[in-house]
Chains A and B, each alone.
Chain A
């Protein structure tokens, strides 16, 4: 118990130390979102109890898969810290488990699980009482499932076959979640949760708590005991499995040991291309990322087949390209401090080589998906082709550009610990970068898409043109940035801190705390208002795409849709402008310290 308490206390201390500035803003925002989702789940227990099972299944999937996309999950307290102590694996696992309950995610999940108690009390006192142990056990199982999933995943990334398998499964599950509307439609068509789904969500562990409460309400005490015992047993088994897996957690993702063909390049760009293609094929993390993008594209486009709608199929290729770009968004960051070699060879054309390598891996797959699938359903050829070409060029241009401008310092490959998914300490920023890449990637396809919708085949040359332009122009911008700011980027990677000299804007850290929080919040909300809530629904309306997803405007009566979209765009621009204004206000100059002092004491 002492070990567990110490670890929990350690984690509290670390969280407290890291709750500063922008990070605090992000954590607060994420926390608020989580609370909203949890409250939504509790509301379900009042308004639509039959949806409670599916909802908890989604929470469980979130626990299992979330870490895979957020850089290997919560690693505030790492097993490596305690290696010299020689703790027995069970005690180590128990201690780490205690620490795992400290944090925002478990608290939010606990809140969501109180939906069980609400549901139980409405059925009677007995059911309400049963809900208490049920929801606690359920939380333990969630947290443990997450830990075991991450550990299994770490082992999987040691061989190529399992890396590919993991990529396929993750891509499939994420696509299922992304296409959740299919299930919503199925729900409304069937006039309720289809019986199969109702059975499945009760058979998986996320539904066992619910089964216990329902059985208590029905007075079937044997089933109550069985469900609770099953949860407890599962928790014990998971803990044991985790303890074993922790002892296996040694070494890093093994490089694939395939054939070593000699490097036959003769030019500098050729050499970069050779290095990159080898890295893509030998680094199992990258193998996993590409497989994930592929699986996501294919399943995302195929799931609507369940509803008998096949027109999504041609889009598997473009979705794959977009996902592959998002996965490569931090390409310089994941290579870490190897950047020093690029700095010492200033004329070598690193960016162009990386672009070529990316295209070399993505283009054949994109073509192999797009051409047959479009032919199969006789899809809208001009639109699909123009968007595919635009995205290929857009991705090839954006990958290096976003990577050098938004660089998130990575952990050097040879210093990554037992968790190969963890390529950076700052997984929040890395995830944000992925979303930024998705949004920017869509933008690059916009001109070609609009022309293709209006004028058909004319879109294809436009797509080719914007593609080439993006590849060439954005690549040139990236190369310029690398030449001009190379040492600063290397410093950022070495230390994790930005080394900005005097500039047109203040450094974020220079701002008074209050303004840091404001800028952090503005910077986070600005892209959300601007892209997904503003521009994207606007494009959907223009192009007549019939999906509302999470676009607020599209849920409103039609007269209010355009005003809402415009309002959202304006809001996004205003938020962005406000944060830039604040940063400029505290521009570094001799008297800036004094200004900050004044701002701290000003009455407003």
Chain B
């Protein structure tokens, strides 16, 4: 079976710095795939290259067999993306953003209207009908971003830090939606540095460190008998494993 997302030998250099150095990933169809790593490990760079938002210096990315760079129209129709911290059409309301994007995606207007209505209700954004996105809180921005990613019913979701700054109630809603998406045959790749969350949601995991893949596979393969957090610290952690304390803070 073709992989939902197949990344081969992705490389990205920024000047002298090699941000991503030959990353290979295979996200099977129907899997819930977690990408964990420290800040600056190369998660966002990898995901950006995988969905066509950043041009790699080497390597390929295929979404259900469609090459993101050679066949972008087909590849991009199959994927829903939630990037971290990027702007939206800020002077539109949530519903207008969804209408706008649905039409850009080529959906019929009545389908767009119907799905927008449902997404806003499920994500509890319908209260803010008159609010422009620029006035949204960080959590609301994540939710409207997720709605734009889901709108065209993609078969793969690529989510960069989807739970950052999201309140626990909204997080529970999002988790339910994502689990339902996977249960319905969809595939998800998400990045996070919250290990407990990845353990709770994902069935596959890859540890990204210094631009490369330190470990990848099913959750049980990667963590073995340890918790994911212990295994993670072991893989990427500090030299002696002991966290340093600030002497002047304890009395």
Mark A residues whose CB is within 8 Å of B. 252, 255, 257, 260, 262-263, 265-268, 270-272, 274-275, 278-279, 282-283, 335-338, 340-341, 343-348, 412-414, 487-488, 490-491, 494-495, 497, 499, 501
Q: How far is the CA of A414 from the CA of B142 in the complex (A)?
A: 14
Q: Which residue in A255, A340, A487 is a CB contact (below 8 Å) of B135?
A: A255
Stretch at the interface among B23-31, B34-42, B96-104, B194-202: B96-104
Distance of B164 from chain A, by nearest CB (Å): 15
Chain B residue total in the interface (Cβ 8 A):
40
Contacts of B248 in A (CB 8 A): none
Distance of B154 from chain A, by nearest CB (Å): 10
Contacts of A271 in B (CB 8 A): 99-101, 103-104
Q: Which residue in A263, A265, A344 is a CB contact (below 8 Å) of B76?
A: A344
Q: Are B103 and A335 in contact (CB under 8 A)?
A: no
Q: Are A266 and B109 in contact (CB under 8 A)?
A: yes
Mark B residues whose CB is within 8 Å of A. 14, 51-55, 57, 72-73, 76, 79, 81, 83, 85-93, 95-96, 99-101, 103-106, 109, 129-130, 132-135, 141, 148
Distance of B64 from chain A, by nearest CB (Å): 16
Number of A-B contacts defined by CB within 8 Å: 116
Q: How far is the CA of A275 from the CA of B148 in the complex (A)?
A: 15
Q: Are A336 and B87 in contact (CB under 8 A)?
A: yes
The closest CB in chain A to the CB of B109 belongs to: A266
Q: Which residue in B14, B93, B99 is a CB contact (below 8 Å) of A499?
A: B14
**Pairs of residues from A and B, 10 with the lowest C-beta to C-beta distance, nearest first:** A271-B103, A338-B87, A345-B104, A337-B86, A348-B104, A412-B87, A282-B91, A336-B87, A413-B90, A487-B55
Q: How far is the CA of A344 from the CA of B103 in the complex (A)?
A: 13
Q: Are A278 and B92 in contact (CB under 8 A)?
A: yes
Contacts of A341 in B (CB 8 A): 88-89, 101, 104, 148
The closest CB in chain B to the CB of A254 belongs to: B135
Find the residue from B81, B93, B96 having the highest chain A CB count within 10 A: B96
Distance of B68 from chain A, by nearest CB (Å): 10
Q: Are B72 and A346 in contact (CB under 8 A)?
A: yes
Q: What are 18 inter-chain pairs, A to B, with CB distance below 8 A?
A: A263-B99, A268-B106, A274-B100, A275-B96, A279-B89, A283-B91, A338-B90, A343-B52, A343-B53, A344-B52, A346-B73, A348-B106, A412-B87, A413-B91, A487-B52, A487-B55, A499-B14, A499-B54
Q: Are A260 and B76 in contact (CB under 8 A)?
A: no
Distance of A258 from chain B, by nearest CB (Å): 10
Q: Is the interface of A mostly helix, strand, loop or mixed?
A: helix
Q: Using A252-B134, A266-B109 as known contacts, say yes or no to A275 and B81 having CB atoms under 8 A apart.
A: no
Contacts of B101 in A (CB 8 A): 271, 341, 345
Q: Which residue in B72, B81, B93, B134 is a CB contact (below 8 Å) of A414?
A: B134
Q: How far is the CA of A337 from the CA of B53 in the complex (A)?
A: 11
Q: Is the interface of B mostly helix, strand, loop or mixed?
A: mixed
Contacts of B99 in A (CB 8 A): 263, 265, 271, 274
The closest CB in chain A to the CB of B98 belongs to: A263
Contacts of B88 in A (CB 8 A): 338, 341
Contacts of A348 in B (CB 8 A): 104-106
The closest CB in chain B to the CB of A263 belongs to: B99
Find the residue from B86, B104, B106 having the highest chain A CB count within 10 A: B104
Q: Using A346-B72, A490-B54 as known contacts, say yes or no to A272 and B104 having CB atoms under 8 A apart.
A: yes
Q: How far is the CA of A255 from the CA of B130 in the complex (A)?
A: 11
Known A274-B99, A279-B92, A501-B55; further 7 A-B contacts with Cβ < 8 A:
A268-B103, A272-B100, A282-B132, A341-B104, A343-B52, A348-B106, A499-B14
Distance of B150 from chain A, by nearest CB (Å): 13
Q: Using A346-B76, A499-B14 as known contacts, say yes or no to A340 and B103 having CB atoms under 8 A apart.
A: no
Q: How far is the CA of A282 from the CA of B130 in the complex (A)?
A: 13
Q: How far is the CA of A262 from the CA of B85 in the complex (A)?
A: 27
Q: Are A278 and B104 in contact (CB under 8 A)?
A: no
Distance of B147 from chain A, by nearest CB (Å): 13
Contacts of B141 in A (CB 8 A): 414
The closest CB in chain A to the CB of B44 belongs to: A494
Q: How far is the CA of A495 from the CA of B45 in the complex (A)?
A: 12
Q: Using A346-B73, A347-B73 as known contacts, say yes or no to A338 and B91 having CB atoms under 8 A apart.
A: no
Distance of A250 from chain B, by nearest CB (Å): 14
Q: How far is the CA of A491 from the CA of B49 in the complex (A)?
A: 11
The closest CB in chain A to the CB of B69 belongs to: A487
Contacts of A490 in B (CB 8 A): 53-54
